[in-house]
Amino acid sequence: MKQFDYVRPATVTEAVAAAAQPGAVYLAAGTNLLDLMKGNVTRPDRLVDVTHLDGLDGIERLADGSLRIGALVSNADLAHDGEFVKAYPAVAEALLSGASAQLRNAATVGGNLLQRTRCAYFYDTASRCNKRAAGSGCDARDGENRSHAVLGWSDRCIATHPSDFCVPLLALDAIVEIEGKNGRREIALDELHRLPGNTPENESALEPGDLIVAVRLPPAARGFAAHARYLKVRERASYAFAIVSAAAALRIENGKIAEARLALGGVAAKPWRARAAEDVLKGVAPSADAFQEAAWRALTDAKPSGANAYKIELARRIVVRALTLAAAGTPARIPALPASPFASTSGAIHA
């Protein structure tokens, strides 16, 4: 492993200044970063430890009805917060499906948003990867690519974003609070991650030194609690990254869908909001035909990036399944196999 400097700033302002230097990266739980460093995929010159900074580890219910989640809140603490589970059940289910209990105890909200792709060619330093080494090429294009992107990909990169947590957050219009060299700002989660285009090495809208300090769910997000689900298809029933996933949230009034939210995971370099599908569902009664139409609209622009044409049909089916379960109502218990389309709703009560 390459030698590096270790810095432990006392304040957020000091952390931003330290991380703005070339070759610096933030260190929180390190559940992704340390693996990348051990494999020489990432070779930082400086680690800026933010784990002890004040004010980043709280869950706040704000006066306007929104929820503010500090970037250092652990995935486990958030997923097992009773009020959070009741208000945002799809987000809790996504967190519980994303990793083992040991990882959830360590991993943080901010780090989850900034996970790097799990593309095997990104992790293999002997392979060409434009995301890891700009301009080197993309061996995934002609390699083993059955799990790669079907939306928003380019010839430069066909990798996917691995987060489960981000998918329902995107559906619920989450806001990301960022501290940077010029002070505090906020952006929609939909604007945080970038599609590859010609510069896949630029994965997010963050500038050097930018630190995610919180994620905020707006007041309207609570209105979907009665009809919200997150589902994922994975290679094995236990903890694994999604081949495809979907977060569906509906607000049903007088037997019709007053508002729909739909986002997909595992299909692109960023969590994918299916706004065209949402528009199809607004004002109609929940039905198999309506959900099929929404699924087709959600994948209208999808195309294989290799040996992964099956993912398009799989994504359509998981969208229909997620919408169907959301329309039926959020279960009182999170399934024993969270987010599995094959799980019964009997499981541990996390509320």
pLDDT, residue 345, reads 56
pLDDT, residue 333, reads 85
Range in 64-68, 95-99, 171-175, 243-247 the model is least confident about = 95-99
Q: How do residues 84-112 score in pLDDT, each as one tens digit? A: 999 999 999 999 998 888 999 999 999 99
Tell me how far apart the alpha carbons of residues 162 and 333 are, in angstroms, rounded to a whole number.
25
Tell me how far apart the alpha carbons of residues 44 and 18 are, in angstroms, rounded to a whole number.
13
Tell me how far apart the alpha carbons of residues 206 and 350 are, in angstroms, rounded to a whole number.
34
Average pLDDT over residues 59-76: 97
* Contacts of 223 by beta carbon, 8 Å cutoff, 6+ apart: 251, 259
Average pLDDT over residues 207-215: 98
* Contacts of 186 by beta carbon, 8 Å cutoff, 6+ apart: 175, 176, 177, 178, 216
Tell me if 290 is assigned to some domain.
Answer: yes
In terms of pLDDT, which residue wins out, 281 or 341? 281
CATH number at residue 264: 3.30.390.50
pLDDT, residue 348, reads 40
What number of residues does the chain have?
351
Tell me how far apart the alpha carbons of residues 326 and 308 are, in angstroms, rounded to a whole number.
27
Which amino acid is residue 123, in one-letter code? Y
pLDDT, residue 193, reads 98
H/E stretch holding 185: strand 183-188
Residue 286 belongs to what domain range? 223-328
Sign of the Cα torsion 236, 173, 75, 345 reads: negative
pLDDT band at 2 (very low <50, low <70, confident <90, very high): confident
Map residue 244 onto helix, strand or coil.
Answer: strand
Tell me if 23 is assigned to some domain.
Answer: no
Q: How many domains does the chain have?
A: 1
Tell me if 260 is assigned to some domain.
Answer: yes
Question: DSSP character for 222?
Answer: G
Average pLDDT over residues 229-245: 91
pLDDT band at 335 (very low <50, low <70, confident <90, very high): confident
Tell me if 315 is assigned to some domain.
Answer: yes
pTM: 0.95
Tell me if 320 is assigned to some domain.
Answer: yes
Which amino acid is residue 16, in one-letter code? V
pLDDT, residue 344, reads 66
Instruction: With a cut of 80, say whether residue 30 has pLDDT above it.
Output: yes
Tell me if 57 is assigned to some domain.
Answer: no
CB 153 within 8 A of CB 141: no
Which amino acid is residue 86, in one-letter code? K
Tell me how far apart the alpha carbons of residues 255 and 264 are, in angstroms, rounded to a whole number.
25
Tell me if 316 is assigned to some domain.
Answer: yes
Tell me if 61 is assigned to some domain.
Answer: no
pLDDT band at 293 (very low <50, low <70, confident <90, very high): very high
Give ∠ CA 102-94-63 in degrees, rounded to 5: 105
CB 129 within 8 A of CB 122: yes
pLDDT band at 347 (very low <50, low <70, confident <90, very high): very low
In degrees and rounded to multiples of 5, residue 305 shows phi and psi of -105, 5
